[in-house]
């Protein structure tokens, strides 16, 4: 069997496909703010909407020839369908929250989902934890969630260094995350740590758990070396990155440092298809002259970390 891995999806967000920016793009923070508002406004039939999106997403993945997937679910709803789908990979249950008082509650919700499904996971389709991103998780929740992932040896996934806004907020305490996102959604921001997003994860003790890091665009060379030294892997989602005006991930720097890099489409809310072959085409064009097409294509041909193919 030829492996074809789409290492980053959010199948349950497929109902937000109409929020996907066009090719000229939309600033990351205004897109994210819109997305959160839409999720908060969703009515009582949200579960049916999520289930339908997941069903459609799995069909799209299978039709594209995908064999392996790394999916993020905030609700746990995609786990059952993915275990039954024949696809291999990891479903990461997402935790986030900026309110310190809700840290235990948020983690317990994710734990309940993970505990319920772990007895049914397979070595080739596992259940893991996603701690969303540096700017959306309170430090107390980071500590508790990382402690949980460490004790349970869970596969871990983290979005990091996706937008210039994230970099500017964490390292300089400025930019549209403060002016638009936190303010518009009435969220209390974390105190800016005044270091790069990747350095922040290292300071929290996250990198030593060898997470799958998604996006990693706004990185200093020291960040790349830090990721390599900790044996982390990264996922590159070029079409989402372009449409959210996040810039070009320095793929050549990661490959030169020996970091395993995967390709992912991201959700339909920021990418027009779940077909990883479309992602490959854009990635080859985006990195022309810097990374060979063969090296990029090889990124589709490896299973996710922490999984073992039972058929081999």
Q: Which residues contact 78 (CB under 8 A, 6 or more apart)?
A: 11, 12, 54, 57, 71, 91
Catalytic residues: 162
Q: Give the three-class secondary structure for 111.
A: helix
**Cα-only R_g, the chain:** 18
**Residue 261 phi, psi (nearest 5):** -115, 135
Long-range CB contacts for residues 182-190, cutoff 8 Å, separation at least 24: 184/33, 185/33, 185/36, 185/37, 187/98, 188/98, 188/99, 189/98, 189/135, 190/98, 190/134, 190/135, 190/137, 190/138, 190/139
Burial zone of 109 (CB within 10 Å; 0-12 exposed, 13-18 middle, 19+ buried): middle
């Amino acid at each position: 069997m030829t492996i074809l891995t789409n290492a980053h999806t959010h199948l349950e967000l497929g109902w937000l496909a109409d929020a996907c920016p066009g090719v000229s793009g939309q600033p990351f923070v205004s897109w994210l703010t819109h997305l959160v508002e839409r999720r908060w406004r969703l009515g009582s039939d949200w579960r049916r909407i999520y289930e339908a999106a997941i069903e459609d997403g799995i069909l799209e993945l299978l039709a594209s020839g995908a064999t392996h997937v790394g999916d993020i679910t905030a609700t746990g709803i995609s786990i059952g369908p993915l275990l039954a789908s024949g696809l291999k990979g990891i479903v990461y249950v997402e935790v986030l929250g900026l309110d310190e008082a809700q840290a235990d509650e948020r983690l317990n919700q994710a734990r309940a989902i993970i505990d319920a499904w772990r007895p049914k996971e397979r070595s080739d389709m596992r259940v893991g934890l996603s701690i969303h991103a540096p700017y959306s998780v309170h430090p107390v929740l980071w500590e508790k969630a990382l402690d949980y992932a460490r004790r349970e040896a869970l596969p871990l996934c983290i979005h990091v260094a996706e937008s210039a806004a994230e970099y500017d907020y964490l390292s300089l305490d400025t930019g549209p995350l403060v002016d638009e996102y936190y303010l518009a959604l009435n969220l209390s921001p974390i105190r800016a740590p005044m270091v790069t997003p990747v350095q922040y994860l290292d300071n929290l003790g996250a990198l030593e758990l060898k997470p799958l890091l998604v996006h990693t665009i706004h990185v200093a060379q020291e960040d790349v070396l830090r990721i390599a030294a900790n044996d982390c892997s990264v996922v590159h989602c070029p079409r989402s990155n372009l449409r959210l005006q996040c810039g070009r991930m320095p793929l050549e720097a990661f490959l030169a440092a020996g970091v395993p890099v995967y390709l992912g489409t991201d959700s339909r809310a920021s990418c027009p298809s779940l077909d990883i072959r479309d992602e490959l085409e854009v990635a080859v064009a985006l990195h022309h002259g810097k990374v060979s097409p063969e090296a990029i294509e090889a990124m589709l041909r490896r299973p996710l970390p922490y999984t073992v193919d039972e058929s081999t």
